[in-house]
Amino acid sequence: MDLPLLPDLCRAEFAHSTTYLNTATSGILPRAAVAEVRALAEAAGAGLPAGFGDFERVNRVRAAFGRLVGVDAGRVAVGSSVAVHVGLVSASLPAGAEVLLPEDDFASVINPFVLRGDLKVRFAPLETLAEAVGADTALVALSAVQSADGRTADLAAVRAATAAHGARMLVDATHAAGWLPFDASPYDYTVTAGYKWLLGGRGASYLTVSEEAQGGLAPLHAGWVAAESMWDATYGPMRQLASDARRFDESPAFLPYHAAEPSLALLERIGIAAVHAHDTALAARYRAGLARLGHEAVPGTTPIVSVPGLGGRQGALLEAGVSTAARAGALRASFHLYNTEADVDRLLDVLAG
């Protein structure tokens, strides 16, 4: 898709009226997703069978997410949050296992390992994480793109180091999938929240598990939806777990999954390469404008741009109709497919006073 067409398409797909530069906190639902949520809620309120939710739709979403990150649907489990997926991986580790994490990564990536209390947790700077992998490392867990400031990890280097030492690797793709061409296939596990760059609602999340890693991951929260034939497993012990990653499913929250189908379809229709070009071009425009104003952003090229020391401006920006975020003392702006150059210039104008 030709890049200049993106704003025209998105004017038809999105209804927001503010200068919304806060996708790293939560994405905007497309109109079609809002319509699906409304239809499901109204059917539930009317007591209609359609209000029960649609498992086949959930499976279509599973397949669409798999296509987006380059894996078969059989490697994708659905759930409600990144922390639950990471907790499942954490529970699979033996007591005393060493887990290596980047310093100051997002809490949902870190806490499930730290709070177990019987794992050896080590931290290293993101930039030297690959060099910190050692012979005793059982797992490295990290975000592909840092939530706080948009810094990117050298995933290839970390993957080479884990392979060399026989360690597994977990990647949080929450701030990558949806704008960055991301391939989940090299990793034992990936986890992704669906309500940010994937334009879905909070309560949809995705876990990918390699075929090799599936055998070592216990489905500790398995309910009837994790069975090979789930409608035959509603009562009593299930006869057989699902033969693929569906064994790690949580029972889905239907509202966000009904929203996710048109949202993922929109991303597929546009193409992640086009979204990537659009988002990063807007971020580059913002970085150049910041430099003209004498502000120094955290170095990088991602659509997440953080400016240390400007976090206190977030409230005034919001009063002016510009939605951003304050994270770790910095002002964080994040740009996605529904944003335009005019949005960037509006943010810069308000910052300039």
Final residue belonging to a domain, choices 268, 283, 301: 268
HSE-up of residue 227 (Cα within 13 Å, Cβ side): 15
Residue with tokens 């649907």: 73
pLDDT of residue 12: 83
Residue with tokens 């319509």: 35
Q: Are residues 89 and 22 in the same domain?
A: no
pLDDT of residue 10: 73
d(CA 347, CA 316): 11
Whether 37 is covered by a domain: the verdict is no
Whether 211 is covered by a domain: the verdict is yes
Q: Are residues 151 and 182 in the same domain?
A: yes
Q: Are residues 224 and 279 in the same domain?
A: no
Whether 39 is covered by a domain: the verdict is no
pLDDT of residue 5: 53
* pLDDT > 60? residue 4: no
**CATH number of the domain that residue 292 is part of:** 3.90.1150.10
Q: Are residues 262 and 283 in the same domain?
A: no
CA-nearest of 107, 148, 146, 113 to 127 is 146
Considering all CA atoms of the chain, what is the largest pairwise distance in Å, rounded to the nearest integer? 66
pLDDT of residue 58: 98
Show the domain range for 168: 45-268
Whether 34 is covered by a domain: the verdict is no
Whether 170 is covered by a domain: the verdict is yes
Residue range 14-26, pLDDT digits in tens: 988 889 999 999 9
Q: Are residues 300 and 161 in the same domain?
A: no
Q: Which contiguous run of DSSP H or E holds residue 139?
A: strand 137-143
pLDDT of residue 168: 98
Q: DSSP of 202-250, one letter per residue?
A: TT-EEEEE-HHHHTT---TT--GGGBTTGGG-SSSS-S-B-SSGGGGPP
Whether 14 is covered by a domain: the verdict is yes
Final residue belonging to a domain, choices 237, 268, 299: 268
* pLDDT > 70? residue 98: yes
Q: Are residues 305 and 260 in the same domain?
A: no
Q: Are residues 58 and 196 in the same domain?
A: yes
Residue range 184-210, pLDDT digits in tens: 999 999 999 999 999 999 999 999 999
Residue range 113-163, pLDDT digits in tens: 999 999 999 999 999 999 999 999 999 999 999 999 999 999 999 999 999
pLDDT of residue 2: 40
With beta carbons less than 8 A apart as the criterion, state whether 27 and 44 touch: no
**CATH number of the domain that residue 131 is part of:** 3.40.640.10
Q: Are residues 293 and 252 in the same domain?
A: no
pLDDT of residue 16: 85
Residue range 245-301, pLDDT digits in tens: 999 999 999 999 999 999 999 999 999 999 999 999 999 999 999 999 999 999 999
HSE-up of residue 334 (Cα within 13 Å, Cβ side): 26
Whether 36 is covered by a domain: the verdict is no
Q: Are residues 277 and 261 in the same domain?
A: no
Final residue belonging to a domain, choices 208, 233, 268: 268
Residue range 286-341, pLDDT digits in tens: 999 999 999 999 999 999 999 999 999 999 999 999 999 999 899 999 999 999 99
| Domain count along the chain | 2
Q: Are residues 257 and 281 in the same domain?
A: no
Residue range 30-83, pLDDT digits in tens: 999 999 999 999 999 999 999 999 999 999 999 999 999 999 999 999 999 999
pLDDT of residue 3: 46
Q: Are residues 228 and 310 in the same domain?
A: no
Whether 83 is covered by a domain: the verdict is yes
Residue with tokens 């189908």: 261
- Quote the mean pLDDT of the chain: 95
Q: Are residues 169 and 282 in the same domain?
A: no
Report helix, strand or coil for 6.
helix
